[in-house]
Amino acid sequence: MTKPAPLIDQFARRITYLRLSVTDRCDLRCAYCMPERQTFLPKAEVLSLEELYKLSLGFIDRGITKLRLTGGEPLVRRDVVDLIQALGRKVGDGLEELTLTTNATRLAQFADPIAAAGVKRINVSLDTLDRATFAKLARRDSLPQVLEGLAAAKAAGLKVKINTVALKGLNEGEIPDLIAWAHGQGFDLTLIEVMPLGEVEEDRFDHYLPLSAVRDDLDKRWTLTPSGHRTGGPARYFDIAETGGRIGLITPLTNNFCDGCNRIRVTTTGQLYACLGGNEQVDLRAALRSADPDAALDAALDLAMKIKPARHSFAIDRPGSAPALARHMSMTGG
């Protein structure tokens, strides 16, 4: 049997990393991510767990070696551990790594079964350690549950990376303390520039904090040395001598990283977005539900490689500007 062709786009970038959203729903309402009264998808439009698994197998056959489950918040999806367990059995059999991104509100319940299923490493979104600031940002007073979840993840042996969105006027003064706390816990931390996705109640320009400015501040405080560490994503890493830990910087606005893009995203409805910052998409749900799903899925993935753009066009350069795209990050998958 002929081995399926690897996924290589028109710019000769090999695509090996899939971010697969299992739900658009979330139990937080982070102000930079979605409005308080977010409208979620009808359940009838969402792929079943069986379809998500079949889709994943199709990607693995085409050379996807890293699979990250995202949302929304993946752990709010009923029976999601069943999917994690099934995919965990593919680690070492085509899949090199299975990970997920979570807000950790339900991690105390799920850390042990996730680890037992073969997940070694998770990303946790956390922007502050101040309870009042957390409640303001997330519109939910859930910091105690998040910290409990992080403790459970650590106890379960999961390697944790904290993802922090840098926000001017909200958490910028806390960033060094957050880094020091994370490193004290044995966690890496990655800083991310806010991304202009979807309408929210606030103007993102007011809170846009370039990581170039954050890096300048950290350089005055600590000794940062470029690191060769890589996780398959867009972050550039630095070791900090004084804390003994590592930070990453994800800079979609100040330092475009698209030349080395190896990623694609699939929504919980089966829409493949060839770029987080673009509207180019392919309907994989239609392929899955066709008369010949294997052939249709292969054809759809071939098309995705032809339409993947060279780069995104994110910008936050003036007050009141519309978001780059109408859809929210929770819809695309983080």
Sorted by sequence, the CB contacts under 8 Å of residue 298 that are 6+ apart come out as 4, 58, 62
258 is in an annotated binding site: yes
Which residue type is seen at 272? L
26 is in an annotated binding site: yes
94 is in an annotated binding site: no
33 is in an annotated binding site: yes
Q: What is the DSSP pairing of strand 263-266 with strand 17-21?
A: parallel
265 is in an annotated binding site: yes
The tens digit of pLDDT for each residue in 87-131 reads: 999 999 999 999 999 999 999 999 999 999 999 999 999 999 999
The tens digit of pLDDT for each residue in 161-172 reads: 999 999 888 899
Q: What is the DSSP pairing of strand 224-226 with strand 245-250?
A: unpaired
Superfamily (CATH H level) for 17-332: Aldolase class I (3.20.20.70)
101 is in an annotated binding site: yes
Question: What pLDDT, on a 0 to 100 scale, did the predictor assign at position 274?
Answer: 84
68 is in an annotated binding site: yes
Q: What is the DSSP string of 5-74?
A: PP-B-TTS-B--EEEEES-S--S---TTT--TTPPPPPGGGSPPHHHHHHHHHHHHHTT--EEEEESS-G
Q: Nearest CA to 256 among 275, 230, 279, 271? A: 275
Taken as a whole, the chain contains a residue count of: 334
Residue 258's pLDDT band (cuts 50, 70, 90): low
* DSSP E strands, 145-270: 159-166, 188-193, 224-226, 236-240, 245-250, 263-266
Phi, psi of 23 (to 5 degrees): -165, 150
Q: Nearest CA to 150 among 121, 114, 183, 124? A: 124
Domain ranges of the chain: 17-332
The tens digit of pLDDT for each residue in 30-60 reads: 887 777 777 788 888 899 999 999 999 999 9
- Tokens linked to 2: 């002929």
275 is in an annotated binding site: yes
125 is in an annotated binding site: yes
39 is in an annotated binding site: no
30 is in an annotated binding site: yes
